[in-house]
Amino acid sequence: MGMNSGAGALSGRKPQNNMPSQRAPMTAPQNKQEEMKTPQQEEVWVKKWVDYSSKYGLGYHLSNSSVGVFFNDATKIVLDPNSYHFDYIERRQTDRQDVGKEYNIKEYPATLQKKVTLLQHFRSYLEGSQKPKASEKT
pTM of the model: 0.65
**pLDDT band (50, 70, 90) for residue 41:** confident
CATH number for region 43-126: 3.30.1120.30
Residue type at 17 in one-letter notation: N
Q: What are the backbone dihedrals phi and psi of residue 104, each rounded to the nearest 5 degrees, phi first?
A: -115, 165
**pLDDT band (50, 70, 90) for residue 40:** low
Q: Convert the pLDDT of each residue in 114-135 to its tens digit.
A: 999 999 999 999 998 755 444 3
Per-residue DSSP letter, 121: H
Q: Is 12 exposed, middle or buried (0-12, 13-18, 19+ CB in 10 A)?
A: middle
Rounded CA-CA distance 126/99 in Å is: 26
- Listing DSSP states for 42-61 in one string gives ----EEEEEEETTTTEEEEE
